[in-house]
């Protein structure tokens, strides 16, 4: 029982990450009809926004400490962040400690800008091209982006911890009346879950309740008619691309404390996010979110030791098994619309 | 000739000439010149060119003709490899049974996967094939380790049974061969400063590729090929006329799966090792990229795409700072450093960056892939030639227009 | 016309074309004065005044940084072999055969390639070095899959393979080859070295929960650590396999406390280890009390690059390592000094093992008086040496595995720099980690001992 509750929690948290990434991807699919293989790269760049801000905040000047020796026996160069000079050590430490949440503020404009630049500079020219060409060009772009990151940051993962206030975990078990320590969950993951819920809600509200969103939704249904009505749909689509990039980027920023970011984390998530989107059904935002949570929960169950004893290797293939079953029983995924990317 | 029209026959002859003379023109630089780095005419790379050429030709039969984008073809190549290596471990190091079994296994596997996946079209089809391939990879790497060797893969071992071959003499290693003719043996021809290597394995693989290429021309020009193109241009209309398209697409899927099986079997024949990584999704993605890069739907484009990607992977990645410094030794010190530091990010460990840039440049400026580039160049020099290659390219333009 | 399987174009050119007029067709068996210098009868026998080594390391993919460090070590080794720099460990090496004039009087040249940490790519790269560049020895790599694949290739081609970082028992166990040599330690040694230290620090009645990477290296490491800890009284509560491609380990870590275990063993390497350790610390496992004891985490195989990736999470966590730059012996000091002076930071264990392997190869060639792989094998088998950073070391003849002291390390509480992440807890003496060549962990799935075969000179 406790084990199941725990895995549901786990699954919801995993699912929130999947849903967030898939949401951005399906926004681009749905609005622009573009297969964006560079979406994982956007997620990765978001994570590196956090890394970069952390680097900037800890930008240091060197003070030579004669009392300590470095590995070659020379006096040790101690790095002192400039932040200490401005705010004093205590306040400086707090700012550095909170660098991940602070990066959200940086990441939104940066990612919007990257998204808009990408759409105007490259994607725009591929609306009328076959999907194969879109795949090739966005895949090429993804490689270029991740190689640039690798050039500057190396291939090793870079630790980017959450603020120390969020270390440790919350004891759900004790709160629900079970024995302590049975159902625990890290604070940061709870924050991630809440954050994902807010972002997903905001995107839906934006599309549902604003005129802008209404036009975009209309454009997703029938781009030509909206154009004929004299609405400048292209500019709105550009903004949507920026928005999708920002959603992917924010998912990346908040993910950094969970997994230390590295340059190929985007590729690691790429296949997964496509599976989520397709299981949810092409062109359906709700489907993407639903599929994200569904796959997250099922993946968590499949990773339980008791399950693996019966079906060894299930944790290796669960996502794909679910994808195959869903696609065979529901031809267009959970909530897909007819005729979207079926040819 | 060979039931081909004149132009197709010319193309086949052209490809045959190129593959037979590849050891010569792939080594354009003298061995001791500083540009010898760019020579691609050594057995391993030449073998990879033709093997991945076969893989891409087969993939093109499915994707180029029907428009069905499979993201799981590497699984068939991997299954073929495992079949071949097991044949070599259990039966004989002769490559014939190994390749035959790899075709059969890959064919059956693709029949099963295709039967299920072809119930859906478009991206749903792509994800289904991807799912099957990723499952194969994950299982082969982990729980199927007793059969697949897992992380370390399978190689022939000294204590393998090899029923037909008999005991190895002391100190002898098991080598892949064709009735005693070893795949690794070569003849070197030194002409002046040049050395050309003629390798047995390469020529066997090249003959396989020519056969595969010939078969692909026949399929492209057959009524069956025409039907596949009809599937691509409008599947619904075909349905309305009472034609069931599934048998045709399934046949195309299985044929391309068998091509992947040949490629997998040949990979093992040339280099006796099979591992799970060749089934990873990036390997499936690679053949998609090869096909699109070269020109989907054209006869020879996929082979060019395969050659281009393998060349970059094997040649550009080996250029290091020492080599760069040697190249620019003529420049004054300061200039040399600048040149080296400008080029260095694009070569050696940065070869992926160059690859990504090439993908983007080709698809932006040559929507029909490399084939379109050649047509353009051909068109510049002679009108007649341009026309000629146009018809050779067959369905190049429909591919671009989807 | 005749068949051959050993020559590269470089060799042929140097052997023949120099003596013929341009344009003449030269069969490979052309005899020229160059052939008369004693280097013949084996593949890629060096002609002229240089000898080419092949450095095959991961330059792309997740282990690219480790590969870059290996490459730095190789470049340093080449510099020292050719008489440049301060000579590094050549001065402390117990064998004095190397003179700083290359190997056997030939200047050392090298080619590099990218393994991508994939067996196929690694073999393609190694084959190009052998077929195109005429490399006489291949070395490098940072995974056991690649090491086993390339080792098998080198055996077939008649080239010596000096393994880089590879920790699975299989490399010198069921997949050992006569032409392959490993200096790095293995899973068995990690288990044997760690268990007593763990028992001493955490007590002999611990309940361990294993998370294991679901591939060969994970299996051998799990088995080794389980067997050695259980021998000292520990109990293994559960052992769960995790996919190699897993990035978020929360669903594997969450049930650990429920199982009643008080120790978590992470049989993970590279990105897997960085993520699983980070996740485990995030769950606050280390602040918990189970069975009246503090909960502990153990990482059997450590590397400094991984410790760097996991950041503060490694503090106080035990693991084992092949070598660490803070070792006080003369060899280590000399190596750290020349590496640190050239590159500005201390070398990793991967760099160390690669440097040592190059030195050992060069020394063996000097002592054997030939580059012939069979001569090298003979010179390395049973070779005892000292002064290369790990104390007295033996290259065992039966399986070509080095036997030396193993370091048990712990994540440092107060690192003074970004390189100062691990501290040495104990140097486990070699006797404690030595096993018989036919030890059950070194056998194949059917329990048979796989023969090592005979050296192959390739001609």
Question: What one-character-per-residue DSSP string does C169-220 give?
Answer: GGGGTTT--TTEEB-S--HHHHHHHHHHHHHHHH-S--EEEEEEESSHHHHH
Sheet-wide strand order for C50-57: C107-114, C50-57, C137-140, C160-163, C180-181
Sequence-ordered list of residues with C-beta below 8 angstroms from that of B333, at least 6 positions apart, any chain = none
Q: Say whether pLDDT at B401 is over 70.
A: no
Average pLDDT rounded to a whole number, residues B285-310: 93
- Start-to-end C-alpha separation, chain A: 45
Q: Say whether pLDDT at C8 is over 70.
A: no
Pairing of strands C160-163, C137-140: parallel
Domains of chain B: 6-280 (1.10.3470)
**CB-based contact A316 C248, cutoff 8 Å:** no
Q: C329 is written with which tokens? A: 């012996």
What local confidence, expressed as pLDDT, does residue B396 receive?
Answer: 35
Phi then psi dihedrals of residue C51, to 5 deg:
-125, 135
Instruction: Give the pLDDT band of residue C23 (cuts 50, 70, 90).
Output: very low
Query: How crowded is residue C328: how many other Cβ atoms within 10 Å of its Cβ?
Result: 7
Residues in chain B with CB shorter than 8 Å from the CB of A326 are none
CB contact at 8 A, C251 and A299: yes
Q: Which of C3, C16, C448 sits opposite B185 (nearest CB)?
A: C3
Q: Say whether pLDDT at C18 is over 50.
A: no
Q: Using alpha carbons only, what angle is made at residue A213 by residues A208 and A217, rounded to the nearest 5 degrees?
A: 90
Closest alpha carbon to C276 in C180, C209, C224, C342: C209
Alpha helices in B169-294 (DSSP H): 200-221, 223-233, 235-240, 246-270, 281-294
Please write the tens of the pLDDT for every residue from C74-118: 999 999 999 999 999 999 999 999 999 999 999 999 999 999 999
**CB-based contact A323 B131, cutoff 8 Å:** yes
User: Min CA distance, A186 vs chain C (Å)?
Assistant: 5
Q: How many residues does chain A have?
A: 343
Average pLDDT rounded to a whole number, residues C427-439: 95
Instruction: Give the pLDDT band of residue C34 (cuts 50, 70, 90).
Output: very low
Phi then psi dihedrals of residue C241, to 5 deg:
-85, 140
Average pLDDT rounded to a whole number, residues C21-37: 34
Instruction: Give the pLDDT band of residue C280 (cuts 50, 70, 90).
Output: very high
What local confidence, expressed as pLDDT, does residue A91 receive?
Answer: 84
Q: B4 is written with which tokens? A: 């081909």
Q: C339 is written with which tokens? A: 């590496």
Closest alpha carbon to C319 in C426, C165, C163: C426
Query: A131-153 vs B281-294: helix axis angle to the nearest 10?
Result: 120
CB contact at 8 A, B278 and C120: yes
Q: Which of B150, B159, B318 sits opposite C450 (nearest CB)?
A: B159
CB contact at 8 A, B210 and B289: no
Q: Give the rounded distance of the alpha carbon of B205 from its chain centre.
A: 11
Q: Say whether pLDDT at B379 is over 90.
A: no
Sequence-ordered list of residues with C-beta below 8 angstroms from that of A291, at least 6 positions apart, any chain = A18, A19, A22, A276, A277, A279, A280, A281, A326, A333, A334
Q: Say whether pLDDT at C3 is over 60.
A: no
Beta-strand (E) ranges in chain A? 60-69, 75-81, 169-171, 184-186
Instruction: Give the pLDDT band of residue A167 (cuts 50, 70, 90).
Output: confident
**How far apart are alpha carbons B387 and B399 in whole angstroms?**
18
Q: pTM to 2 decimals?
A: 0.91
Please write the tens of the pLDDT for every residue from B235-273: 888 888 888 889 999 999 999 999 999 999 999 999 999
Average pLDDT rounded to a whole number, residues A65-78: 79
Q: C148 is written with which tokens? A: 């086993």
- Sign of the torsion angle spanned by Cα atoms C248, C254, C259, C262: positive
**CB-based contact B313 C23, cutoff 8 Å:** no
Q: Say whether pLDDT at A173 is over 90.
A: no
What's the mean per-residue pLDDT of chain B? 89
- Determine contact: C446 vs chain B, CB below 8 A: no
Q: In whole angstroms, how far apart are CA C335 and each of B24, C115, C258, C343? A: 46, 26, 47, 12
Average pLDDT rounded to a whole number, residues B266-286: 93
- Sign of the torsion angle spanned by Cα atoms B66, B67, B71, B77: positive
CB contact at 8 A, B255 and B59: no
CB contact at 8 A, A302 and A315: yes
Q: Using alpha carbons only, what angle is made at residue C139 by residues C133 and C141, rounded to the nearest 5 degrees?
A: 115
Q: Which of C212, C242, C250 has the most A C-beta neighbours within 10 Å, making it the best mutation to test the interface with A? A: C250
Query: How crowded is residue B327: how many other Cβ atoms within 10 Å of its Cβ?
Result: 17
- Determine contact: B313 vs chain C, CB below 8 A: yes
Please write the tens of the pLDDT for every residue from B37-62: 899 999 999 999 999 999 999 999 99
What's the mean per-residue pLDDT of chain C? 88
Sequence-ordered list of residues with C-beta below 8 angstroms from that of C311, at least 6 positions apart, any chain = A159, A161, A260, C278
The region of weakest confidence among A281-290, B171-180, B357-366 is B171-180
**How much of chain A, in percent, has pLDDT values that exceed 90?**
43
Q: In whole angstroms, how far apart are CA C444 and each of A206, B333, C441? A: 61, 56, 8
Query: How crowded is residue B3: how many other Cβ atoms within 10 Å of its Cβ?
Result: 11
**How far apart are alpha carbons A82 and A89 in whole angstroms?**
10
- Determine contact: C76 vs chain B, CB below 8 A: no
User: Min CA distance, C253 vs chain A (Å)?
Assistant: 10
Average pLDDT rounded to a whole number, residues A164-183: 81
Pairing of strands B186-191, C25-26: antiparallel
Q: Say whether pLDDT at C4 is over 70.
A: no
Beta-strand (E) ranges in B149-202? 177-178, 181-182, 186-191, 194-199
- Sign of the torsion angle spanned by Cα atoms C438, C439, C440, C444: negative
Q: C301 is written with which tokens? A: 């195989």
What local confidence, expressed as pLDDT, does residue C39 receive?
Answer: 60
What local confidence, expressed as pLDDT, does residue C21 receive?
Answer: 34
Sequence-ordered list of residues with C-beta below 8 angstroms from that of B103, at least 6 positions apart, any chain = B80, B258, B261, B262, B265
Contacts with C, A 253-282, CB within 8 Å: 257-260, 262, 264-265, 268-269
Please write the tens of the pLDDT for every residue from B113-126: 999 999 998 889 99
Q: Say whether pLDDT at B215 is over 90.
A: yes
**CB-based contact A151 B350, cutoff 8 Å:** yes
Q: Say whether pLDDT at B400 is over 50.
A: no
**CB-based contact C175 B159, cutoff 8 Å:** no
Q: What number is the ipTM of this complex? A: 0.90
Q: Say whether pLDDT at B392 is over 60.
A: no
What local confidence, expressed as pLDDT, does residue B389 receive?
Answer: 40
Contacts with C, A 40-99, CB within 8 Å: 68, 70-72, 76
Average pLDDT rounded to a whole number, residues C344-356: 95
**CB-based contact C118 B351, cutoff 8 Å:** no
Closest alpha carbon to C251 in A18, A162, A120, B336: A18
Q: Which of C237, C248, C333, C416 has the most A C-beta neighbours within 10 Å, making it the best mutation to test the interface with A? A: C248
Sheet-wide strand order for C263-267: C235-242, C207-213, C263-267, C296-301, C318-321, C406-411, C422-428
**How far apart are alpha carbons B377 and A213 in whole angstroms?**
47
Sequence-ordered list of residues with C-beta below 8 angstroms from that of B387, at least 6 positions apart, any chain = none
Domains of chain C: 50-185+326-400 (3.40.50.2300), 188-321+409-431 (3.40.50.2300)
**How far apart are alpha carbons A317 and A302 in whole angstroms?**
9
Name residue A64's beta-bridge partners.
A77
What local confidence, expressed as pLDDT, does residue C214 receive?
Answer: 92
DSSP class of residue C400? -
What's the mean per-residue pLDDT of chain A? 88
**CB-based contact C215 B151, cutoff 8 Å:** yes
DSSP class of residue A202? H
Contacts with A, B 296-335, CB within 8 Å: 296
Q: In whole angstroms, how far apart are CA B128 and each of A18, A198, B278? A: 19, 32, 18
Q: Say whether pLDDT at A87 is over 90.
A: no
- Taking one residue from A and the other from C, the number of pairs with CB-CB distance under 8 angstroms is 142
Phi then psi dihedrals of residue B120, to 5 deg:
-125, 160
Phi then psi dihedrals of residue B35, to 5 deg:
-90, 0
**CB-based contact B360 A332, cutoff 8 Å:** no
CB contact at 8 A, C430 and C403: yes
């Amino acid at each position: 029982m406790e084990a199941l509750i725990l895995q549901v929690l786990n699954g919801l948290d995993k699912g929130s990450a999947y849903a967030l990434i898939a949401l951005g991807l399906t926004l681009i699919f749905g609005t622009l009809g573009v297969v964006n293989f560079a979406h994982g790269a956007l997620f990765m760049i978001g994570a590196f926004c956090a890394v970069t801000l952390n680097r900037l905040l800890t930008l240091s000047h060197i003070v030579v400490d004669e009392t300590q020796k470095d590995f070659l026996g020379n006096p040790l160069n101690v790095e002192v962040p400039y932040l200490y000079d401005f705010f004093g050590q205590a306040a400086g430490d707090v700012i550095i400690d909170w660098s991940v949440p602070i990066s959200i503020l940086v990441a939104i404009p940066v990612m919007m800008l990257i998204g808009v630049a990408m759409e105007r500079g490259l994607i725009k020219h591929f609306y009328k091209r076959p999907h194969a060409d879109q795949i090739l060009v966005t895949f090429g772009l993804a490689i270029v982006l991740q190689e640039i990151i690798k050039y500057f940051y190396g291939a090793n993962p870079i630790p980017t911890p959450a603020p120390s206030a969020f270390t440790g975990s919350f004891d759900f078990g004790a709160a629900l009346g079970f024995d302590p320590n049975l159902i625990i969950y890290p604070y940061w993951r709870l924050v991630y879950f809440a954050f994902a819920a807010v972002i997903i809600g905001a995107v839906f509200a934006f599309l549902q309740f604003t005129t802008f969103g209404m036009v975009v939704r209309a454009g997703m249904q029938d781009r030509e008619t909206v154009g004929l009505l004299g609405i400048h749909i292209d500019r709105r689509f550009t903004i949507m691309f920026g928005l999708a990039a920002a959603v992917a980027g924010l998912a990346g920023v908040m993910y950094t404390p969970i997994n230390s970011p590295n340059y190929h984390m985007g590729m690691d998530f790429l296949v997964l996010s496509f599976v989520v989107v397709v299981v949810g059904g092409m062109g359906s935002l709700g489907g993407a979110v639903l599929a994200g949570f569904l796959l997250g929960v099922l993946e968590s169950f499949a990773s339980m030791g008791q399950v693996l004893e019966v079906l060894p290797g299930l944790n290796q293939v669960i996502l794909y098994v679910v994808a195959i079953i869903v696609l065979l029983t529901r031809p267009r995924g959970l909530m897909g619309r007819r005729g979207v990317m079926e040819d | 000739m060979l039931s081909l029209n004149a132009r197709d026959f010319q193309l086949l002859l052209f490809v045959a000439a190129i593959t037979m003379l590849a050891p010569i023109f792939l080594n354009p630089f003298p061995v001791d010149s500083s540009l010898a780095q760019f020579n691609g005419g050594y057995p391993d790379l030449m073998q990879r060119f033709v093997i991945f050429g076969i893989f891409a030709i087969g993939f093109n039969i499915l994707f180029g003709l029907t428009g069905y984008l499979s993201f799981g073809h590497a699984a068939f190549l991997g299954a073929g490899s495992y079949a071949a290596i097991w044949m070599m471990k259990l039966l004989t190091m002769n490559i014939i049974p190994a390749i035959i079994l790899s075709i059969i296994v890959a064919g059956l596997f693709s029949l099963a996967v295709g039967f299920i996946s072809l119930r859906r079209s478009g991206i749903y089809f792509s994800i289904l094939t991807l799912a099957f391939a990723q499952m194969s990879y994950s299982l082969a790497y982990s729980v199927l380790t007793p059969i697949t060797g897992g992380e370390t893969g399978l190689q022939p071992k000294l204590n393998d049974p090899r029923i037909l071959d008999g005991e190895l003499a002391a100190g002898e290693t098991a080598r892949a061969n064709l009735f005693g003719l070893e795949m690794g043996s070569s003849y070197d021809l030194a002409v002046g400063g040049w050395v050309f290597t003629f390798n047995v394995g390469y020529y066997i693989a090249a003959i396989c590729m020519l056969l595969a290429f010939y078969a692909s021309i026949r399929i492209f020009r057959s009524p069956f090929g025409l039907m596949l193109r009809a599937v691509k241009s409008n599947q619904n209309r075909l349905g309305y006329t009472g034609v069931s398209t599934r048998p045709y697409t399934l046949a195309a899927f299985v044929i391309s799966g068998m091509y992947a099986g040949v490629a997998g079997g040949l990979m093992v024949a040339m280099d006796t090792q099979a591992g799970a990584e060749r089934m990873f999704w990036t390997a499936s993605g690679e053949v998609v990229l090869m096909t699109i890069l070269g020109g989907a739907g054209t006869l020879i484009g996929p082979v060019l795409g395969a050659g281009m990607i393998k060349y970059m992977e094997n040649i550009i990645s080996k250029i290091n700072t020492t080599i760069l410094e040697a190249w620019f030794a003529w420049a004054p010190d300061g200039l040399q450093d600048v040149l080296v530091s400008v080029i260095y990010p694009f070569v050696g460990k940065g070869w992926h960056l160059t690859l990504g840039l090439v993908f983007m440049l080709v698809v932006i400026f040559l929507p029909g892939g490399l084939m379109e580039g050649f047509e353009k160049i051909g068109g510049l020099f002679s009108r007649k030639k341009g026309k000629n290659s146009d018809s050779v390219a067959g369905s190049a333009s429909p591919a671009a227009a989807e | 016309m005749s068949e051959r399987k050993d020559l590269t174009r470089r060799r042929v050119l140097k052997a023949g074309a120099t003596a013929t007029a341009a344009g003449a067709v030269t069969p490979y068996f052309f005899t020229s004065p160059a052939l008369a210098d004693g280097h013949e009868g084996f593949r890629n026998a060096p002609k002229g005044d240089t000898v080419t080594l092949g450095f095959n390391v991961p330059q792309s993919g997740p282990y690219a940084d480790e590969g870059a460090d290996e490459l730095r070590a190789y470049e340093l080794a080449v510099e020292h072999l050719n008489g440049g720099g301060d000579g590094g460990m050549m001065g402390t090496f117990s064998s004095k055969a190397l003179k700083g004039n290359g190997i056997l009087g030939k200047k050392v040249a090298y080619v590099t390639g990218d393994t991508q940490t994939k067996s196929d790519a690694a073999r393609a790269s190694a084959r190009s070095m052998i077929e195109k560049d005429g490399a006489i020895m291949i070395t490098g790599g940072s995974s056991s899959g690649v090491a086993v694949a390339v080792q098998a290739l080198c055996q077939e081609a008649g080239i010596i393979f000096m393994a880089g970082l590879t920790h699975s028992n299989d490399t010198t166990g069921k997949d050992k080859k006569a032409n392959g040599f490993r200096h790095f330690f293995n899973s068995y040694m990690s288990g044997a070295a760690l268990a007593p230290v763990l028992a001493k620090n955490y007590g002999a009645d611990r309940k361990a929960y294993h998370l294991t990477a679901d591939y060969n290296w994970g299996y051998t490491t799990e088995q080794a650590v389980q067997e050695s800890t259980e021998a000292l009284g520990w109990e293994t509560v559960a052992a769960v396999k995790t996919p190699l491609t897993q990035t978020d380990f929360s669903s594997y870590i969450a049930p650990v406390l429920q199982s009643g275990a008080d120790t978590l063993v992470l049989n993970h390497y590279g990105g897997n280890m960085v993520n699983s350790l980070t996740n485990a610390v995030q769950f606050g496992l280390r602040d918990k009390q189970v069975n009246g004891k503090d909960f502990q985490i153990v990482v059997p195989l450590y590397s400094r690059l991984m410790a760097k990736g996991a950041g503060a999470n490694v503090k106080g966590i035990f693991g084992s390592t092949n070598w660490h730059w803070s070792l006080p012996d003369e060899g280590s000091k000399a190596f750290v000094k020349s590496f640190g002076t050239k590159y500005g930071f201390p070398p990793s264990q991967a760099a160390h093992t690669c440097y040592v392997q190059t030195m050992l190869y060069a020394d063996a060639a000097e002592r054997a008086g030939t580059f012939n792989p069979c001569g090298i094998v003979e010179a390395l088998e049973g070779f005892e040496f000292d002064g290369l950073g790990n104390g007295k070391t033996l290259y065992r003849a039966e399986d070509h595995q080095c036997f030396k002291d193993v370091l048990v390390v712990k994540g440092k509480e107060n690192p003074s720099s970004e390189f100062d992440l691990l501290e040495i807890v104990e140097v486990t003496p070699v006797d404690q980690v030595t096993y018989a060549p036919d030890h059950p962990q070194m056998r194949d799935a059917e329990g048979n001992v796989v023969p090592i075969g005979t050296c192959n000179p390739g001609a």
